[in-house]
């Protein structure tokens, strides 16, 4: 009887809005067998579209014609620079509080940019699109200023001759990336660009539903993405692999680490997904590109992919749980030499497109999001009793 009740409880457990449909969108579709951005399947986009094309698709609503793409890219390039006042604050945080998480710095930068945006409080479609494109263009610059300052280097200006992904890497390092490195980053941005009503997007839409401004919605999205159960999982997945590698190099094995993790119920990051029970469509795509890059540019990094494959096989064999995109992301960015704390800000550099598409959709067809809760507290009682 107890087992039946427990089973029923699990079947009806809707904490975290599990399995609940709370709205509709034309931006993205996520299900067991497909991930689509406005009708285009993710593998098709990763193979054939650039990130700028995907950004246009999400923000403006259709695949760009060549002349539309050229205009869109030119406009983004013209928006990349950030005001000196914002740059100075980012540098001050890096110099005076280097332990501050880059996501906190990025949240502050977006908030500062809002104060300098003349259409910040305007929620009409044209103003929202302008603000969306400005943030898309400026976020890589903000990330780069912070990382260069942390490295004790003078930040560089955005390079108008580089595409979005390559410019992001340039801003972070001051070095023009190799073509293969820029391609891998471009693919990762495409894969991370959008994912329907995930926690950060839902947060952004809830804020938008109050008629708050787009910058406030994005700040909320950044706050939600920062958590290690959401965007921060790519950092946590790489930190876990580093822990396993240290154990292996000390004479243990990945098998021993994993079995101990199972026994102690240690949270293993980069695995499982609320929707994809049979595997994340994006994970295999990013692993292939990351391994290809490692083979071509950094053979010494292949050991991380070998270890990742071993950990993945154990997880699948013993728990029947597949990796999500955050698992290969950690290995791929690590192979590229990107500091682990910057993984989630790079996620923002991609997901800003999805967030803004949803914010605009919410603003244009709005009703405040106000769900009900099931009360599980005390029954009515008298204060004087």
| Residues noted as catalytic | 230, 273, 326
Contacts by 366-371, CB closer than 8 A, 24 or more apart: 366/208, 366/209, 366/211, 367/209, 368/209, 368/210, 369/22, 369/23, 369/205, 369/206, 369/209, 371/17, 371/22
DSSP 212-261: --HHHHHHHHHHHHTSTTTTTHHHHHHHHHHHHHHHHHTT--HHHHHHHH
Phi, psi of 221 (to 5 degrees): -60, -40
- d(Cα 378, Cα 381) in Å, to the nearest integer? 8
Residue with tokens 């159960």: 229
- Through-space distance between the first and last CA atoms of the chain, rounded to whole angstroms: 38
User: Cβ-count burial of 56 within 10 angstroms (0-12 exposed, 13-18 middle, 19+ buried)?
Assistant: buried
Q: How many helices (H) and strands (E) does the chain have?
A: 17, 3
Q: What is the DSSP letter of 264?
A: T
- d(Cα 218, Cα 352) in Å, to the nearest integer? 8
- d(Cα 42, Cα 70) in Å, to the nearest integer? 23
Which H or E element spans position 346? helix 343-364
- d(Cα 144, Cα 167) in Å, to the nearest integer? 9
Q: In the chain, where do the E strands start and end?
A: 28-30, 35-37, 40-41
Nearest in space to 148 (alpha carbons), one of 215, 90, 89 = 90
- Cα dist. 194→37, 113, 210, 273, 347 in Å? 7, 23, 22, 15, 10
């Amino acid at each position: 009887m107890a087992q039946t009740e427990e089973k029923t409880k699990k079947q009806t457990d809707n904490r975290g809005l599990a399995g609940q449909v709370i709205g509709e969108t034309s931006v993205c579709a996520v299900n067991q067998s497909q991930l689509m951005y406005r009708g285009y399947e993710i593998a098709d986009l990763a193979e054939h579209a650039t990130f700028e094309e995907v950004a246009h698709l999400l923000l403006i609503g259709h695949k760009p014609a060549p002349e539309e793409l050229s205009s869109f890219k030119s406009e983004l390039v013209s928006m990349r620079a950030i005001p000196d006042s914002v740059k100075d604050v980012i540098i001050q945080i890096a110099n005076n509080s280097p332990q501050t998480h880059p996501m906190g710095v990025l949240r502050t930068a977006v908030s500062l940019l809002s104060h300098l945006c003349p259409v910040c409080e305007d929620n009409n479609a044209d103003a929202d699109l302008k603000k969306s494109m400005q943030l898309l263009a400026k976020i890589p610059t903000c990330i780069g200023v912070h990382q260069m300052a942390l490295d004790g280097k003078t930040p560089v200006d955005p390079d108008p001759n580089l595409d979005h992904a390559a410019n992001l890497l340039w801003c972070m390092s001051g070095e023009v990336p190799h073509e293969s490195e820029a391609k891998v980053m471009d693919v990762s941005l495409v894969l991370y660009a959008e994912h329907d009503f995930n926690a950060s997007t839902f947060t952004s839409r809830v804020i938008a539903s109050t008629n708050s401004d787009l910058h406030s919605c994005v700040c909320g999205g950044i706050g939600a993405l920062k958590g290690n159960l959401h965007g921060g999982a790519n950092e946590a997945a790489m930190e876990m692999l580093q822990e396993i590698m240290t154990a292996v190099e000390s004479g243990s094995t990945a098998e021993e680490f994993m079995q101990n993790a199972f026994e102690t119920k240690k949270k293993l990051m980069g695995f499982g997904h609320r929707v994809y029970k049979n595997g994340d469509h994006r994970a295999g795509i990013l692993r292939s590109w990351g391994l290809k890059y490692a083979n071509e540019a950094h053979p010494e990094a292949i050991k991380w992919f070998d270890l990742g494959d071993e950990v993945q096989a154990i997880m699948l064999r013993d728990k029947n749980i597949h990796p999500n995109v955050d698992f290969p992301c950690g290995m791929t960015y690590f192979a590229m030499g990107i500091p682990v704390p910057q993984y989630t800000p790079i996620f923002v550099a991609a997901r800003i497109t999805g967030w803004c598409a949803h914010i605009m959709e919410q603003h244009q067809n709005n009703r405040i999001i106000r769900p009900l809760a099931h009360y599980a507290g005390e029954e009515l009682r008298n204060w004087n009793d």
